[in-house]
Chain A
């Protein structure tokens, strides 16, 4: 009772809880807290009682039972003998891959559209306005379905690629061809692209039942090392430039550092490409990118890109016109002015709304269910939920996963935001 001691003159009376403004706020807060807890308790109790009335319990053991269904797109190995828990992870990775590429694409589109919307070129600026307004004002679901329908209705069927003996004899060509040097098959089901294939792979290790490809890791490590060395090189060049005024030539050093080690490694491992071939009903071999993935990615990136474009435009407009004029006065061209002067300052305004756009994009991936994209909502919240009948458990689990996912993205972006923030000295 610390606050009793802080009121020295009057002895504390119960009525002061209501009539004394010093204590009233505590009273109100305690009452509100109590009511809120009571409401939560009621909700919980209601759920438990109603489940009990239906003879159901809350039980997550279904996650360890055999799933029995198949998933088309799987980033980690999965068969219908795997558990529902593994199906959950397959779905989660499918969500993450769309969210990851979606965020990157949407950012690129958004920055371009936002900058170009402010362009002095009337046609370009109006075109960007048109893009932003159409995409922003039509529901995302329709864009997703539209993209999917365009792909699946206009592309040729796999059998159109077939060359039969009679066609060879008659000198006829099939009605459809693979594109890009006969390597990519674009059908009404998906896109089959060549898969990198190694003659002497480094093998793989299993972490938690997920095979990690060591060759891939080695390539990534080399790229990371190359980027680090390149950074040192550029840093050194900058230091020399500041000291002497002459910038040493670095471009060929950068190229060597970035690419040569990777190329040598890939050559040593015996890289070649597995080209998709038509066998039976479909193209076999290569990587099959289903249209549900492509359509979802394109629609979601264009849609979110429109919002990001507005955030970028707001950020640029927030920078005073004097900055541009000052940069022009120093002789900087418009492109460099934007890149070196305006955008770095505008980023501080852009990043906070960008965070919420990334979160929106990640959560919007659930709309992929409309075009049969099996993400987390499709596996855990769709087929698993239906086959096991564990609605409450699946929903709670799914909400928890999306919550954690969003919190991770938000905290990551907040770190970035803090790094970009105006440093006040």
Chain B
């Protein structure tokens, strides 16, 4: 009899586990809060501001999703994750989604059972050095000591780059950006390597930013984007389209400021569909009609978010480059809303 009870418990727990992972969208709605995995602190992309509230380019995606699903961009609980812990936190269900400059790779997509829903920043790995070093190209770094953040794709790119150029280096493997920055500033390494956007963000926080240069070589492709667990396609669609709503809004000229005005006056059928004035796109993925309108109203469209967090007007000063809209020579492009 004992055995039956045991088997019954096992079956029940297995079923419960099955239910728990069935629908992240329902979980989030029931909880009334989105749990978003973010960076422990990368200025401009995801870092707490002076009041302790997370702000940044990646964080804006969390806000857009929360606004679309829950109707309030502030109903987000931010869980800081390091390069090492992020995917485990996502896979174990500790967070609903990651918006944390993570590179989309084949093995992460397939072997780690993750889904990268979109690319919100097209990046590449670069090197930062002190001006005094007198280095103008990464290929001159033969024999240098280089700080790398562990658990990232940069670690492997770095090994490949030096091997391809037949030069040597000494790796110093550090756990997160702030420790890398400390060691780099203390001179424990000649160069610090990570995604070029990350380098710009780190440099912006340095007291003597003008003494550090980012070398011209970009040694890898780093498509960064929000990540969800593999297998929950509905939730993946919600995150993906919440993001694309931001890009589409930039394409259509909808901004945080003029969104009500556009909604009242627009004659463009696609804008009407996005803003929920026509058709019922939201219902197709289990949301209401105005989901995209709220997502856009949360922190503005893609271009506005970029300009406000990491753009040329900020201390980070990143150009749009590859991340401009496709109409302006970039790669950002939203699939049609229909």
Residue numbers in B under 8 Å from A291 (CB-CB): 188
- Contact, CB under 8 Å: B150 / A383: yes
Interface stretch (choices A63-71, A199-207, A212-220): A63-71
Known: A34-B2, A42-B10, A68-B156. A389 touches B111 (CB 8 A): yes
> Which residues of B5-53 have CB atoms within 8 Å of chain A's CB atoms?
6, 9-10, 13-14, 17-18, 21
Q: How far is the CA of A379 from the CA of B283 in the complex (A)?
A: 48
Say whether B234 faces chain A, with CB atoms less than 8 Å apart.
no
Q: How far is the CA of A188 from the CA of B145 in the complex (A)?
A: 11
**Which of A46, A68, A153 has a CB less than 8 Å from the CB of B160?**
A68
**Which of A46, A68, A282, A385 has a CB less than 8 Å from the CB of B144?**
A282
Q: How far is the CA of A389 from the CA of B156 in the complex (A)?
A: 15
- Contact, CB under 8 Å: B170 / A72: yes
> Which residues of A144-195 have CB atoms within 8 Å of chain B's CB atoms?
152-153, 157, 159, 188-189
Q: How far is the CA of A383 from the CA of B84 in the complex (A)?
A: 8
Considering only CB atoms and an 8 Å cut-off, how many residues of chain B contact the other chain? 50
Residue numbers in A under 8 Å from B172 (CB-CB): 72, 189, 372
Residue numbers in A under 8 Å from B251 (CB-CB): none
Which chain A residue shows the least CB distance to B143?
Answer: A280
Say whether A15 faces chain B, with CB atoms less than 8 Å apart.
no
Residue numbers in A under 8 Å from B91 (CB-CB): 54
Known: A68-B159, A382-B151. A53 touches B18 (CB 8 A): yes
Which chain B residue shows the least CB distance to A388?
Answer: B111
- Contact, CB under 8 Å: A188 / B186: yes
> Which residues of A101-159 have CB atoms within 8 Å of chain B's CB atoms?
152-153, 157, 159
**Which of B17, B84, B186 has a CB less than 8 Å from the CB of A153?**
B186
Interface of B is mostly: mixed
Say whether B209 faces chain A, with CB atoms less than 8 Å apart.
no
**Which of A49, A72, A372, A388 has a CB less than 8 Å from the CB of B14?**
A49
- Contact, CB under 8 Å: B186 / A80: no
Which chain B residue shows the least CB distance to A383?
Answer: B150
Say whether A386 faces chain B, with CB atoms less than 8 Å apart.
yes
**Chain B CB within 10 A, most for which of A70, A279, A282:** A70
Residue numbers in B under 8 Å from A80 (CB-CB): 159-160, 163
Q: Say how far B141's CB is from chain A's closest CB, in angstroms.
A: 8
Which chain A residue shows the least CB distance to B188?
Answer: A152
**Chain A CB within 10 A, most for which of B17, B87, B186:** B186
Would you list 20 pairs from A and B whose C-beta atoms are within 8 A, ordered by A residue?
A46-B10, A54-B231, A69-B156, A70-B159, A152-B183, A159-B133, A189-B170, A189-B172, A280-B143, A281-B133, A281-B190, A383-B150, A383-B155, A386-B84, A386-B150, A386-B152, A387-B151, A387-B156, A389-B112, A391-B88
Question: Assuming A69-B159, A281-B190, what are 8 further A-B pairs, CB within 8 angstroms?
Answer: A53-B17, A69-B171, A71-B171, A72-B172, A152-B186, A382-B151, A387-B151, A387-B155
Instruction: Give B contacts to A, CB under 8 Å.
Output: 2, 6, 9-10, 13-14, 17-18, 21, 83-84, 87-88, 91, 107-108, 111-113, 132-133, 141-145, 150-152, 155-156, 158-160, 163, 169-175, 183, 186-190, 230-231
